[in-house]
Amino acid sequence: MATTVTSTKTAEKRETSSGRGSKFPGPNGKGPKGNGNGGGRRGPRRGLSPEAYRVTMWMVIAAIVMMFAALSSAYIILSFDGERRRVTMPPMFFLSTGIIILSSFTIETAKRSLKRENESRYRGWTIATLVLGLFFLAAQVMGWRELAAQGVYFASHPHSTFFYFFTGVHGVHLLGGIAGLSYLAIRGQRKGKVGKVMPKETSAGLMSLYWHTMDALWIWLFLLLLILK
Amino acid sequence: MSSETHEAVHRHEAPTSFIRKYIFSLDHKVIGIQYIILALTAVVVGVTMSVLMRLNLSWPGTSWSILGTLFPTGAPGGIMNPEFYLSLVTMHGTIMVFFVLTTAPQGGFGNYFLPIQIGAEDMAFPFLNMMSFWVTFVGFIVILAAIFVEGNTTIATSALGVWLGGGSGSTVGPIGGWTGYAPLSAVGVAAGPGQGAGMNLWIVSIAIFCIGSLLGALNFITTLLNMRTRGMTLMRMPLTCWAWFTTAVLALLSFPVLLGGGILLLLDRTVGTSFFIPGGLVFGSSVLNTHTGGSPILWQHLFWFFGHPEVYIAILPGMGATSHILSTFARKPVFGYRAMVFAIFAIGLLGFFVWGHHMFISGMSPYSAMTFSILTLSIGVPSAVKTFNWLGTLWGARIRFTTPMLFAIGFVSLFVAGGITGLVLGQTSLDLPMHDTYFVPAHFHLVMGVASIFGMFAAIYFWFPKMFGRFMSERLGKFHFWLTFVGVYCIFVPMHTMGMVGMPRRYANFGEYRFLDSIHPLVIFVSIAAIITALVQLVFYFNLIWSVFKGKKAGDNPWEATTLEWNTTSPPPHDNFAGVLPVVYRGPYEFAVPGAPNDYVMQTEPDASTAGEGVGGNGHNGHKH
């Protein structure tokens, strides 16, 4: 791979022209966006606009929704043929549904607190959401124990499999949200930005978008398991 | 706006250590080249396997001693087992579709040229970009591991091999085809050779690949939507960018479905669930009682919901490159630019609603089949728009017959030749007798296999001067083109005949099918053509490596092209435009503009009205020096 993507000639050029770097700063002719001084190697080189991050988050959501659409269609197809043994919905799943709906309200409150520049309230509601998220996961695990008490296990038959499988895959995605919330809660102490590149309001907006998606996904899966047998 | 907007744009210095520069690089150009090298490696494995398949088909029972040495149980005495042949079919398809046709066009050329063509310094998320390559690379290592775990008795029966699911040692991977149809793929070692560790690793590899592609797709879409330079409106983007963008959208929406399906399949195999395994499956003389209630057809739906968009993921970048290159060497604007953009989108959109045409014989309702059939045939409309516009671009042009131009014209030829039979296979009544005959491999190899590869050949000959500052040898390139072009037609046109005679695909041996005796000479002809064509590719590899070091030096814009990549040095500097992003004033294909001093006007050339404002004159690189 003897590529010569950077020659000494071009390095010189960069030095001579570096002072003019801001001459044409903005993409799309909309002027400079975001904050371009992120020094992080891992972040975007030029600061991306909040809209850019929102677009990215919507695409992440699109991909996740497509996967759950595939898994849901598997459930729908299998529920129409073959023998189906009934699994009773564990009461814990009703509780967890309540918890995650509540957590959508708390994260929304957190986001609005930040808009009103009340940083301590923002941090408090973020932590509340985080705690509710952990409670939700705990309730899901206890739901599994209730399923096991019914005598149905992961591989007992397709219907029981989906109870474990949907909760498990959803839980893994929710863990991503928990990681994000923890990060925001820790970074929430600082003023201004999260990490090196993203304004705090942007990250709060992205987080609530993801969290609401997880909420909506769970309600969808829950109703699927509850109604379609 | 926040106060940061007044700060100077931060610019990264080029990394200096070897590892940061060439291995774990964040530079989209290096990552693009890494993808291309991955594809160039994978294609050697894939083509070698296809040559082995041809050897077995043409001269069955012949002993190939080297095979006997390498695979003593798979090819005892150098004669291939039927299972060995089937695993070659599977791995050839898997490696070619995923690690060649999905990596080079999108990850390779897309990565390298999308940011430059839209006037960006890099991708939106360089770290994600690096991850997407290395994740894909791990996927490739895992698929290679599948070959060795299944192909070597010692490894298959070692502790590691047993932990991975056990193996027979008699194949080079799973034997279920690149589509991995359940229940054969779902029940584990009970299903026979290749269905142990090899199948597990196959699924894991594909799942890893899905994740890598998703990371890449996210990056492409965000970059294209948000990092375009000043003046680069959507309708001023080169058609290559439109193609990569559509491809990324397809990848973003289809790979999650395959990932989901792959997880279900792996659970069926390892945990004992029954997503794809019906109750009471009979294997030989035993009944499988451990599973109940699954649906094998479900796998087909999930797989092909991904699988059909996947063929467009393979070919759309080739279409983009072809449009770009035809226009450049015809010295004419692309005929019907807007129509081309909408056609790309229409093909991508329709691609999500036609997966059922792969399953006409699965016992689906005739009404569903008819719906899928009508939707499938409707893809002919945007495809015909594209073909018509390519011909319109060439019409009456003073064509410069360079090697990239020859390959681009070859792409059009192959796309038409392969697409025509799509109209045959898209109709239920005609597909039923043709299904699983050689007619199908003939069709898809021409239209999505070889055509995509021709698109990539065109792209590499075209962009090589930009990537390495040197030309590839035109003499060797033309030799490569003509032999490959004639070669692929010699391989795949006779296959249509075999299909119409009724020769089933995936059979290792036709010795007992006397009605096929008469076309055995044709089978041998195809094999000889395949071997020659494969050998000709060595010329390409030689040309590629030799030209990196010894090729004729190329300037910044050797083809007299108009788009932004020709506006920077060859090769481009670390941040593509040496710190000053270009400004775009016009569309991408302004060739033969009346009244212009040259027969091409670069995208950075200001309009006549603004030319007096100081930037004019030698506008396309005036800002740089």
CB-based contact B192:B83 (threshold 8 Å): yes
How many whole angstroms separate alpha carbon A68 and alpha carbon A73? 8
Q: Which residue of B has its CA nearest to A33?
A: B5
Confidence of residue B534 (pLDDT cuts 50, 70, 90): very high
B273 with A13: Cβ contact below 8 A: no
Mutation to test the A interface, candidates B235, B580, B583, B610, most A Cβ within 10 Å: B580
Reported pTM:
0.90
Phi and psi (nearest 5°) for B201?
-65, -35
Query: Could you tell me the two tokens for B212?
Result: 């890598």
CA distance A26 to chain B (A): 7
Q: Which residue of A has its CA nearest to B8?
A: A22
Q: What is the pLDDT of residue B556?
A: 94
Q: What is the pLDDT of residue B511?
A: 84
Q: What is the pLDDT of residue B85?
A: 94
How many whole angstroms separate alpha carbon B172 and alpha carbon B91? 8
Report in angstroms the alpha-carbon separations of A10 from A6, A18, A46.
6, 12, 20
Contacts of B425-429 with C-beta under 8 Å, sequence gap 24+, read: B425/B357, B426/B357, B426/B373, B426/B376, B426/B377, B427/B373, B427/B377, B428/B360, B428/B366, B428/B369, B428/B370, B428/B373
Higher pLDDT: A87 or B612? It is: A87
B281 forms beta bridges with: B288
Confidence of residue B155 (pLDDT cuts 50, 70, 90): confident
Reduced to 3 states, what is the DSSP secondary structure of residue A89? coil
Alpha helices in B152-238 (DSSP H): 153-156, 159-163, 197-226
A3 with B230: Cβ contact below 8 A: no
Per cent of chain B over pLDDT 90 is: 77
How many whole angstroms separate alpha carbon A13 and alpha carbon B14? 13
Q: What is the pLDDT of residue A191?
A: 62
B11 with A18: Cβ contact below 8 A: yes
Report in angstroms the alpha-carbon separations of B607 from A214, B407, B577.
50, 34, 21
B601 forms beta bridges with: B590
Q: What is the pLDDT of residue A33?
A: 35
Q: Which residues of A touch B126 (CB under 8 A)?
A: 42, 44-45
How many whole angstroms separate alpha carbon B422 and alpha carbon B445? 11
How many whole angstroms separate alpha carbon B205 and alpha carbon B139? 5
Q: What is the pLDDT of residue A179?
A: 95
- Judged against a pLDDT cut of 80, whether residue A195 lies above it is answered with no
Read off the pLDDT of each residue in A187-213 and give the average, rounded to a whole number: 79
Query: Could you tell me the two tokens for A112?
Result: 């609005």
Q: Which residue of A has its CA nearest to B227?
A: A27
Of A28-42, A197-211, B232-246, B505-519, the one with minimum mean pLDDT is A28-42
Of A6-10, B108-112, B200-204, B582-586, the one with minimum mean pLDDT is A6-10
- Judged against a pLDDT cut of 50, whether residue B463 lies above it is answered with yes
Confidence of residue B607 (pLDDT cuts 50, 70, 90): confident
- Judged against a pLDDT cut of 50, whether residue B4 lies above it is answered with no
Indicate the Cα dihedral angle B484, B545, B409, B565, nearest 10°. Answer: 170
Mutation to test the A interface, candidates B3, B7, B9, B548, most A Cβ within 10 Å: B9
CA distance B348 to chain A (A): 16
Q: What is the pLDDT of residue A46?
A: 54
- Judged against a pLDDT cut of 50, whether residue B397 lies above it is answered with yes
Read off the pLDDT of each residue in B214-221 and give the average, rounded to a whole number: 96
How many whole angstroms separate alpha carbon B555 and alpha carbon B29? 18
- Spatial neighbors of A109 by CB under 8 A, at least 6 apart, are A121, A125
Query: Could you tell me the two tokens for B380?
Result: 């002919």
- Judged against a pLDDT cut of 90, whether residue B313 lies above it is answered with yes
Q: What is the pLDDT of residue B423?
A: 93
Q: What is the pLDDT of residue A192?
A: 58
Query: Could you tell me the two tokens for B3?
Result: 């106060």
Q: Which residues of B touch A42 (CB under 8 A)?
A: 126-127
Residue B252 has its nearest CB partner, among A31, A38, A62, at A62
Q: Which residue of B has its CA nearest to A49?
A: B226
Q: What is the pLDDT of residue B444?
A: 96
How many whole angstroms separate alpha carbon B569 and alpha carbon B571? 5
How many whole angstroms separate alpha carbon B447 and alpha carbon B413? 10
Closest Cα partner for A100 from A221, A227, A219? A219
Of A11-25, B53-67, B211-225, B282-296, the one with minimum mean pLDDT is A11-25
Of B130-139, B166-175, B429-438, the one with minimum mean pLDDT is B166-175
Q: What is the pLDDT of residue A35?
A: 33
Q: What is the pLDDT of residue A45?
A: 44
Mutation to test the A interface, candidates B11, B211, B214, B226, most A Cβ within 10 Å: B226
Higher pLDDT: B422 or A87? It is: B422
Q: Which residues of B touch A56 (CB under 8 A)?
A: 124-125, 218, 221-222
B574 with A2: Cβ contact below 8 A: no
Crossing angle of the two packed helices B239-270 and B197-226, in degrees rounded to 10 = 150
Counted across chains A and B, CB pairs separated by less than 8 A come out at 233
Reduced to 3 states, what is the DSSP secondary structure of residue B236? helix
Confidence of residue A53 (pLDDT cuts 50, 70, 90): very high
Query: Domains in chain A and their CATH numbers?
Result: 50-227 (1.20.120.80)
Q: What is the pLDDT of residue B290?
A: 83
Work out the mean pLDDT of chain B and round it to a whole number.
91
Does the fold of domain B331-553 match that of domain B26-294? yes
Confidence of residue B18 (pLDDT cuts 50, 70, 90): confident
Confidence of residue B283 (pLDDT cuts 50, 70, 90): confident
Q: Which pLDDT tens digit goes with each residue over B285-308?
A: 888 888 888 899 999 999 999 999
Q: Which residue of A has its CA nearest to B251?
A: A63
Read off the pLDDT of each residue in A189-206 and give the average, rounded to a whole number: 73
- Spatial neighbors of B512 by CB under 8 A, at least 6 apart, are none
Query: Could you tell me the two tokens for B459?
Result: 């792209």
Q: What is the residue extent of each domain of chain B?
A: 26-294, 331-553, 555-625
Confidence of residue B284 (pLDDT cuts 50, 70, 90): confident
B124 with A1: Cβ contact below 8 A: no
Residue B293 has its nearest CB partner, among A41, A42, A158, at A158
Q: Return the DSSP state at B446.
A: I
Report in angstroms the alpha-carbon separations of B532 from B51, B408, B410, B438, B480.
10, 22, 18, 21, 11
Give the domain B26-294 fold: Cytochrome C Oxidase; Chain A (1.20.210)
Of A33-42, B558-567, B579-588, the one with minimum mean pLDDT is A33-42
How many whole angstroms separate alpha carbon B220 and alpha carbon B236? 17
Confidence of residue A14 (pLDDT cuts 50, 70, 90): very low
Q: Which residues of B touch A7 (CB under 8 A)?
A: 569, 571, 573
Residue A13 has its nearest CB partner, among B11, B275, B573, at B573
How many whole angstroms separate alpha carbon A91 and alpha carbon A96? 9
Q: What is the pLDDT of residue B309?
A: 96
Q: What is the pLDDT of residue B426?
A: 95
CB-based contact B346:B576 (threshold 8 Å): no
Single-letter code of the amino acid located at B157: T
Confidence of residue B162 (pLDDT cuts 50, 70, 90): confident
Residue A70 has its nearest CB partner, among B124, B229, B256, at B256
Residue A77 has its nearest CB partner, among B124, B271, B298, at B298
CA distance A172 to chain B (A): 13
- Judged against a pLDDT cut of 70, whether residue B489 lies above it is answered with yes
B578 with A32: Cβ contact below 8 A: no
Q: Which residues of A touch B217 (CB under 8 A)?
A: 59, 63
Query: Could you tell me the two tokens for B478?
Result: 């033309």
What CATH homologous superfamily does B331-553 map to? Cytochrome c oxidase-like, subunit I domain (1.20.210.10)
B288 forms beta bridges with: B281
CB-based contact B91:B146 (threshold 8 Å): yes
- Judged against a pLDDT cut of 70, whether residue B604 lies above it is answered with yes
CB-based contact A53:B612 (threshold 8 Å): no
- Judged against a pLDDT cut of 90, whether residue B244 lies above it is answered with yes
ipTM, two decimals: 0.90
Per cent of chain B over pLDDT 70 is: 95
How many whole angstroms separate alpha carbon B254 and alpha carbon B304? 10
Q: Which pLDDT tens digit goes with each residue over A86-128?
A: 788 999 999 999 999 999 999 999 999 998 988 889 999 999 9
